[in-house]
């Protein structure tokens, strides 16, 4: 199946330094085409579209970003005809710099958004009308397009909400103010809305080509927006052309096609000086310095790439980019490396790691280096903190009329029963992490090795695991549910699913509800900032003293 998918998408480029490059395009992955002005990015994107025009959507850099109105202004047949004309136009060479369908493209985007919202509503209504309640619930579990867009906008630091009003008109509101037409949005807000609408309404299993998204949007907006769009459309392939080196750096799991220059033969490009880079950390400093500018806040965290981390931290700290680094040692090295590199002066680097068994002095030392140490195993402990579960239960009760206390009790009553059978694995997994971190810190350095002495280190693993198991039992005896959730890798147990289903939600729907809480409720955001006090102190320059 993977082989078939790979063959469906074609991207070949003739280079002067590597011969013919056949670049693999795989659904669920992204490729950034990175280069300064004048290196042939537009021509290359045009060639990519021609190679895949039957199964791709192209979002142009020189697209129109204003609306003539805020409703469907064409029929379904007119839309279909315009799409055929646009497809023919985009196959012409001049489409690289000229667009004869600017207004039509925006209208089609609005048509598709409203239509997809209506299709979902009709499916749910038809299921209810025919007394197929379970089918209606199934359809309702698919996130509504406008709900998805509002979540994306909030994650991207755009404080507006889009709603569908009477006579199928789209309205925007900011901070709860009176709704107004989306035609009155700012240039950046309209552009973000168009990108979201285009990507979310694209047919399944397509190549999505986005040309210079940073042209109309600030870096702090487009980076989290792309992250979330990649997550929501994992059935598609994304290719993004950009001048901004930080976009691929922010999405380090992606590939980068680095364009340095191109060679011309008359009016046509003959080949490119290009390299395909799988690790964005290998982007040469000379290229970064050529096309970079402003300062940047980066938060390095433990663990592998996961959208949950990025999305929740992005909402709590809107001006920070989150980059997973694996282990706590790698987090420390990443922060120290950036702070110690003069060439990276535009970056403000912070780290977030587990405190494990560190002393107060060790935590203070880390804090002075820009690294916050917290008593938390994973990002799930933020999503499933019981104070947050209670807030979600309250919001659901306001919508459904169900008793919030009953909802909360149903969601949390079986936590201990669901954890007990996994005691040995949970404790050993936590100890594994602690032991590895401890061993890594005491490994001999090159100066120690040069002295040719005997290196020995003994660790009583029986004592380590028994100590942890005793703590596990203590937390259970105290009914300290938040302590259990924050300390252990609960994603490996049924606990998270049981909390969500106890509220009548799937895990995805529950986690969306938590993010919506952060967006809507200032108290929830402040709650998280307090919970993350050492990190909040670093990012917002507040005074913090580690606990004794």
Q: What is the pLDDT of residues 382-392, one digit of tens each?
A: 999 999 999 99
Among 99-113, 290-304, 331-345, the range of highest mean pLDDT:
99-113
pLDDT at 528 over 80: yes
| Residues facing residue 58 across a β-bridge | 209
350 within domain boundaries: no
DSSP 416: H
**What is the Cβ-side half-sphere exposure of residue 154, based on CA atoms within 13 angstroms?**
28
- What pLDDT, on a 0 to 100 scale, did the predictor assign at position 292? 41
Give a yes or no: residue 468 inside a domain: yes
Q: Cα-atom radius of gyration of the chain, to the nearest Å?
A: 26
Q: Are 110 and 72 in contact (CB under 8 A)?
A: yes
User: What does pLDDT average to over the chain?
Assistant: 86
| pLDDT value at 449 more than 60 | yes
- What pLDDT band is residue 510 in, cutting at 50, 70 and 90? very high
Asked if the model's pLDDT at residue 11 lies above 80, the reply is yes
535 vs 349: CA distance, rounded Å: 12
Residue 472, pLDDT > 90, answer yes
Residue 314 lies in a domain: no
Neighbours of 426 (CB within 10 A): 23
287 pLDDT higher than 60: no
Q: How many residues does the chain have?
A: 548
Mean pLDDT of 265-275: 90
Residue 400 lies in a domain: yes
Residue predicted with more confidence, 232 or 541 = 232
**Predicted confidence band at 545 (pLDDT cuts at 50, 70, 90)?**
low
Does 31 map to a domain? Answer: no
The answer to whether residue 522 scores a pLDDT higher than 70 is yes
Cα–Cα distance, 370 to 132 (Å, whole number): 55
345 pLDDT exceeds 70?
no
Q: What are the respective helix, strand and coil percentages of the chain, to the nearest 5? A: 55, 15, 30
CA dihedral 341, 347, 353, 357 (to 10 degrees): 50
* Percent of the chain at pLDDT exceeding 70: 90
Average pLDDT over every residue of 189-212: 94
Q: How many CA atoms lie within 13 A of 345 on its CB side?
A: 3
Chain CA centroid to CA 260, Å:
28
Q: What is the DSSP letter of 283?
A: S
Residue 497 within any structural domain of the chain: yes
* Distance set, CA 374 to CA 337, 417, 432, 487, 530 (Å): 21, 26, 18, 10, 12
- 16 in a domain, yes or no? no
Question: How sure is the predictor about 267, in pLDDT bands with cuts at 50, 70 and 90?
Answer: confident
How many C-alpha atoms does 129 have within 13 Å on its Cβ side?
6
Nearest to 272 by CA among 287, 283, 257, 282: 257
Q: How confident is the model at residue 377 (pLDDT cuts 50, 70, 90)?
A: low
Helical H runs in 70-215?
Answer: 76-90, 102-129, 133-140, 145-155, 187-200
More confident residue, 407 or 176: 407
* Average pLDDT value for residue range 454-470: 91
The residue written with tokens 């005691």 in the block is: 423
Residue 291 banded pLDDT, cuts 50, 70, 90: very low
pLDDT on residue 524 = 96
pLDDT at 5 exceeding the cut of 70:
no
Looking at residue 32, its pLDDT comes to 94
Give the Cα separation of 275 and 256 in Å (integer).
8
> Which range among 63-67, 85-89, 308-312, 479-483 shows the weakest confidence by mean pLDDT?
63-67
Where residue 92 falls among pLDDT bands split at 50, 70, 90? confident
Is a pLDDT exceeding 60 seen at residue 544?
A: no
Residue-range definition of the domain harbouring residue 402: 383-505
- Closest alpha carbon to 269 in 515, 43, 20, 506: 43
pLDDT at 250: 78
- The SS3 assignment for 209 reads strand
Residues 6+ positions from 181 with CB-CB distance below 8 Å: 67, 69, 70, 169, 170, 171, 172
As a whole number, mean pLDDT of residues 177-199 equals 91
Query: Looking at the 3D structure of the chain, how many domains does it have?
Result: 1
Which residue blocks in 186-327 are alpha helix, DSSP H?
187-200, 219-232, 246-250, 285-291, 307-316
Has residue 325 been placed in a domain?
A: no
Which of 201, 223, 191 lies closest to 144 in space, CA to CA? 201
Q: Is the dihedral of CA 501, 505, 510, 513 positive or negative?
A: negative
pLDDT at 75: 86
Give me the helices (H) in 233-327, please: 246-250, 285-291, 307-316
């Amino acid at each position: 199946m993977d082989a078939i998918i790979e063959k469906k998408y074609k991207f070949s480029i003739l280079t002067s330094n590597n011969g013919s490059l056949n670049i693999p395009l795989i659904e669920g992955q992204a490729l950034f085409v990175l280069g300064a002005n004048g290196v042939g990015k537009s021509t290359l994107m045009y060639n990519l579209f021609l190679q895949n025009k039957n199964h791709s959507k192209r979002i142009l850099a020189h697209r129109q970003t204003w609306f003539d109105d805020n409703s469907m202004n064409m029929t379904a047949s007119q839309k279909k005809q315009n799409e055929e004309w646009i497809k023919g136009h985009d196959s012409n060479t001049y489409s690289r710099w000229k667009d004869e369908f600017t207004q039509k493209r925006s209208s089609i985007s609005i048509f598709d958004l409203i239509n997809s919202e209506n299709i979902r509503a009709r499916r749910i209504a038809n299921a209810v009308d025919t007394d197929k309640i379970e089918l209606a619930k199934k359809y309702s579990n698919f996130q509504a397009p406008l709900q998805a867009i509002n979540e994306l906008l909030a994650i991207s630091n755009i404080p507006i909400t889009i709603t569908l009003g009477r006579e199928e008109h789209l309205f925007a509101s900011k901070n709860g103010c009176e709704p107004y037409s989306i035609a009155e949005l700012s240039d950046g807000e309209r552009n973000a809305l168009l990108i979201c609408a285009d990507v979310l309404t694209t047919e399944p299993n397509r190549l999505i080509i986005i040309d210079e998204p940073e042209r109309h949007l600030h870096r702090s907006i487009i980076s989290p927006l792309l992250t979330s769009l990649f997550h929501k459309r994992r059935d598609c392939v994304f290719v993004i052309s950009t001048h901004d080196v930080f976009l691929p750096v922010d999405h380090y799991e992606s590939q980068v096609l680095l364009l340095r220059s191109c060679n011309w033969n008359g009016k046509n490009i003959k080949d490119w000086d290009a390299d395909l880079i799988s690790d964005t950390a290998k982007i040469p400093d000379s290229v970064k310095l050529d096309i970079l500018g402003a300062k940047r806040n980066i938060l390095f965290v433990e663990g592998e790439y996961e959208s949950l981390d990025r999305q929740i931290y992005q909402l709590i700290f809107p001006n920070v980019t989150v980059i997973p680094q694996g282990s706590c040692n790698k987090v420390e090295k990443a922060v120290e490396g950036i702070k110690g590199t003069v060439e990276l002066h535009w970056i403000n680097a912070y780290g977030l790691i587990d405190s494990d068994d560190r002393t107060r002095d060790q935590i203070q030392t880390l804090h002075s280096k820009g690294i916050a140490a917290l008593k938390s195993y994973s990002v799930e402990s933020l999503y499933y903190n019981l104070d947050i579960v209670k807030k979600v239960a309250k919001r659901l009760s306001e919508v459904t009329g169900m008793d919030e206390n009953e909802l909360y009790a149903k969601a949390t009553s079986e936590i201990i029963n669901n954890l007990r059978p996994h005691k040995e694995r949970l404790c050993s997994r936590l100890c594994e992490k602690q032991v590895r971190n401890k061993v890594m810190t005491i490994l001999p350095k090159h100066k120690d090795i040069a002295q040719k002495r005997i290196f020995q280190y003994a660790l009583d693993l029986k004592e380590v695991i028994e100590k942890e198991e005793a703590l596990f039992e203590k937390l259970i005896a105290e009914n300290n549910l938040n302590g259990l959730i924050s300390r252990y890798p609960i994603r490996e147990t049924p606990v998270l699913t049981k909390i969500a289903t106890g509220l009548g939600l799937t895990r995805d729907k529950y986690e969306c509800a938590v993010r919506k809480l952060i967006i809507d409720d200032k108290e929830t955001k402040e709650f998280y900032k307090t919970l993350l006090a050492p990190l909040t102190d670093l990012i917002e320059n507040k005074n913090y003293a580690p606990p004794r």
